[in-house]
Amino acid sequence: MAYIEMENICKEFKVYKRNSSWTKTLKSLFIREFETKVAIQNINISIDKGELVGYIGPNGAGKSTTIKILTGILTPTSGIVRVDGRVPHENRVKNAEKMGVVFGQRSQLYWDLPMTETFQLYKKMYRIEERQFKSNVNLYVELLEMQEFMNRPIRQLSLGQKMRANLAVALLHDPEIIYLDEPTIGLDVVAKSRIRRFVRELNKEKGTTVLLTTHDMDDIEQICNRIIMIDHGQKIFDGSIGELKDLYSEGYMLIVDFAEDNVSLNDSRLRVISEEGPRKTIIINTNEIAIAEAIAKITEGNSIVDLHIKEPNIERTIERLYENKERETVQA
């Protein structure tokens, strides 16, 4: 049995219908009209324990609604959802004991307390045994490099320090799964790298299941092994990053500096997308031609000064996926 199971999950909201005319507004004081908004529809997701999963989609796609259903905050309109065999909205307390949540734009820290006291507060809140508490504090302080600010009030910490502190607090009780919502938003390059490295290390050390929602594709590439994509409340892709690139990327990019300007490539599988003097940028699809063969074809009869290979860009790959889905929708 998978750790997370969602079968045909739908969530609808009744929204009060606002009227522009004065007479209709007056009428609504006595008779309210509502319209139904579909947040997610027929979502099927299965996640095994210990997986690192990126859950992505544009704003309004239904990501937050899905997370709220998994955490037990919302009840689905229809369908079956289980987390470790429990129905979240029916077992909220037990579900909360097994999960951790970090929102990039919200904090669960207390403004005037230093981290030493914050840890003690959460120890009592979660009823954490002393040995487990000390072990986890030592582990997270070391992995997240928190030594320098343990005794400073939260209000004096930088954004990156606060995010590290939020992660440590969310994980203090050894949750089996952690939901991360934009954990690196607003952080500098060094802070982002530290957070990403920590999440991978956490998964390796404790086998914690991670469900990550983010708009930062570097987060996805550096943390996750699997991507689930949704749009307009429906799942449109579920697979590895490699599978995503194989299916939807333009291909590998070869940036070649030739010794001469006038170079002809007599192979339709080598598509030149830009030229700047002797430099050519060539796209190749590895389903049509292997990289080694492509390089052999390029160097055949040509003098090469330099050559760089760039992997398919994940952001552009995702854009192409959404473009394909939009075309399919229009044609249907």
Identify whether residues 240 and 274 lie together within a single domain. no
Percent with pLDDT over 90 in the chain: 54
Residue 301 pLDDT class (50, 70, 90 cuts): confident
Task: For residue 328, tell me if it sits in a domain.
Answer: no
Identify whether residues 19 and 87 lie together within a single domain. yes
Query: Torsion over CA of 29, 30, 31 and 34, rounded to 10 degrees?
Result: 30
Q: What's the CATH number where 198 sits?
A: 3.40.50.300
Task: For residue 145, tell me if it sits in a domain.
Answer: yes
Identify whether residues 198 and 255 lie together within a single domain. no
Identify whether residues 174 and 280 lie together within a single domain. no
Contact at 8 Å (CB) between 202 and 175?
A: no
pLDDT at 19: 64
In this predicted structure, the answer to whether residue 26 has a pLDDT above a threshold of 70 is no
Dist. CA 160–CA 178, nearest whole Å = 19
Identify whether residues 237 and 258 lie together within a single domain. no
Identify whether residues 137 and 152 lie together within a single domain. yes
Identify whether residues 183 and 305 lie together within a single domain. no
Dist. CA 137–CA 150, nearest whole Å = 11
Tokens 């952690």 found at:
178
Identify whether residues 10 and 93 lie together within a single domain. yes
pTM for the complete prediction?
0.83
Last residue of a domain, one of 224, 246, 268: 246
Task: For residue 276, tell me if it sits in a domain.
Answer: yes
Identify whether residues 122 and 175 lie together within a single domain. yes
Closest CA to 187 of 214, 169, 211, 210: 214
Task: For residue 135, tell me if it sits in a domain.
Answer: yes
In this predicted structure, the answer to whether residue 135 has a pLDDT above a threshold of 90 is yes
Last residue of a domain, one of 217, 246, 275: 246
Residue 295 burial (10 A CB sphere; 0-12, 13-18, 19+): middle
Residue 317 pLDDT class (50, 70, 90 cuts): confident
Identify whether residues 78 and 195 lie together within a single domain. yes
Task: For residue 329, tell me if it sits in a domain.
Answer: no
- Domain that includes residue 61, residue range: 4-246
pLDDT at 27: 62
Last residue of a domain, one of 190, 223, 246: 246
Task: For residue 318, tell me if it sits in a domain.
Answer: no
Into how many domains does the chain fold? 2
Q: How many CB atoms lie within 10 A of CB 325?
A: 16
Dist. CA 228–CA 63, nearest whole Å = 10
Task: For residue 225, tell me if it sits in a domain.
Answer: yes
Identify whether residues 149 and 217 lie together within a single domain. yes
pLDDT at 329: 67
Task: For residue 322, tell me if it sits in a domain.
Answer: no
Most confident range (mean pLDDT) of 43-52, 54-63, 303-312, 318-327 is 43-52
Identify whether residues 153 and 71 lie together within a single domain. yes
